[in-house]
Amino acid sequence: MKEKTKLILCLGSSCYSRGNQYVLEIVKQYIKDHNLKDEVDFRGQLCTGNCSHGPVMKINDVKHENVDINNIQKILDQYFSK
Ligand code: FES
């Protein structure tokens, strides 16, 4: 079985208030629209001390910084567009 892609979105107060509250909804919708529920392990995490580069999202072990509603789609497409 293929290993799931790990999406970890920072939900610490800094990242959350600076955009991850919206990114969260976009990622959830993206997973739904692309039928990725079985391929993705999506979870939130608390602050990891990278607020100054935030909002932050980790995909597998790659850290994406300054994630926002304008670039999240493109980032996800890099991993999931077929
Ligand atoms: S709140 Fe996200 S790294 Fe601190």
Q: What is the CATH number of the domain that holds 44?
A: 3.40.30.10
15 touches ligand 1 (CB under 6 Å)? yes
For ligand 1, the distance from its centroid to the CA atom of residue 78, given in whole angstroms, is 23
Pocket test for ligand 1, best of 48, 64, 66 (most atoms within 8 A of CB): 48
How sure is the predictor about 80, in pLDDT bands with cuts at 50, 70 and 90? very high
Q: Which residues contact 12 (CB under 8 A, 6 or more apart)?
A: 45, 46, 47, 48, 51, 54
Condensed to tens digits (0 to 9), the pLDDT of residues 22-73 reads: 999 999 999 999 999 999 999 999 999 999 999 999 999 999 999 999 999 9
**Alpha carbons 5 and 53: distance in angstroms, whole number:** 23
Predicted pLDDT of residue 71: 98
For ligand 1, the distance from its centroid to the CA atom of residue 79, given in whole angstroms, is 23
50 touches ligand 1 (CB under 6 Å)? yes
Q: Is 22 exposed, middle or buried (0-12, 13-18, 19+ CB in 10 A)?
A: middle
Find the domain containing 28 and state its range: 5-80
> How many structural domains is the chain composed of?
1
Q: Residue 31: how many CB atoms within 10 A of its CB?
A: 18
**Alpha carbons 38 and 35: distance in angstroms, whole number:** 8
